[in-house]
Structure 1
């Protein structure tokens, strides 16, 4: 009878456990230092990814992280809920938004084409935070919004460039509240980052 060889199975088991831990969203999402601590590691260094996006696009880390926090709560597989047919049958989703950034299919395709990052995935934090930086930087360039103006950057992110240009958000108290909440979160994240660096 063959004996079971633990030395062969253990490395694979540890690798799978480590990868599955990467799929778990952080539990303390209102503290950016805690988010980075929970997600920092060999496979998935979120702080380094956010700082790379800041250097590349000129959008501060707190603005990037507050946007991701508002959009998905740091869940890599986040999607809009399904609508219900006849009130109880799961039906279509309200949009194609997916992943950490909640990027729509068309906008994600544009990002991949313009950046040459054809392997980018919305469920990969580094790709998603780079997308958020790219989107905010384009908003800044198109509409003269400051790269640290979380309120207006988020309005454009939520409504899209066309909706932002039309001013669709001006009579929408709900989206204005979301933008104010995102701005307040970015301010809290900025203060927290000064303490944890």
Structure 2
């Protein structure tokens, strides 16, 4: 029953962040500077069959590549800082419940939401889960994001159809994924030559 309830848990990802965003006009430049990040999404792509460009588009939307991203606090009476709307945290803005599901499913108990490589592994895993549980193609950034945001239960119930704003966000993710795919195609050979570490 607990596993079933986890499947219905929406991620409740806010896409908000607490520190300055990393603006990305060309993903190749960022991946060339952050070699371990590129190696992380590449490893996740190989493990789960989740395209690097889809992973990166989702992570960008959720945190703008900020490790300390969290939803902004609400305000009591419009003035007093109050609780955050969800437990979302880190690069992937995964909630505690969904992160716990990921850790138990993969046995990756030492992973951290504030570590980019771990977040990429999570996103790749979640993309593969969306393919299995909701029939979403791993290359379909638009519907992958909707399933990511609403959770598989919500996506399967089509809760996103009542949220025009979310459809708009998913289109942004889709457009970024297309742009990243084109850019990575041009620089992937160069990025593959970068060697900052050898954990994979």
TM-score range, shorter chain: 0.7 to 0.9
1:58 is aligned to 2:49: yes
d(CA) in 2 for partners of 1:48 and 1:26?
22
Give TM-score, length-normalised by structure 2. 0.82
1:74 is aligned to 2:69: no
- Post-superposition offset of 1:30: 3.4
Q: Which residue of 2 aligns with 1:35?
A: 30
1:106 is aligned to 2:101: no
Q: Which residue of 2 aligns with 1:187?
A: 178
Indicate which of 111, 127, 133 corresponds to 2:118: 127
Q: In 2, are the aligned partners of 1:28 and 1:35 still within 8 Å (CA)? A: no
- Post-superposition offset of 1:196: 1.5
d(CA) in 2 for partners of 1:102 and 1:181?
17
Give TM-score, length-normalised by structure 1. 0.83
Higher relative contact order (CA 8 A, sep 6+): 2
d(CA) in 1 for partners of 2:98 and 2:116?
17
How many corresponding residue pairs?
Answer: 170
d(CA) in 2 for partners of 1:26 and 1:163?
29
1:168 is aligned to 2:155: no
RMSD: 1.4
Give the unaligned 5+ runs of structure 2: 1-18, 189-200
d(CA) in 1 for partners of 2:125 and 2:112?
15
Give the unaligned 5+ runs of structure 1: 1-23
d(CA) in 2 for partners of 1:49 and 1:30?
20
d(CA) in 1 for partners of 2:88 and 2:157?
22
Task: Write the mapping of 1:116-155 to structure 2, written as runs, cut at 5 A.
Answer: 116-155=107-146
- Post-superposition offset of 1:171: 2.1
d(CA) in 1 for partners of 2:104 and 2:187?
36
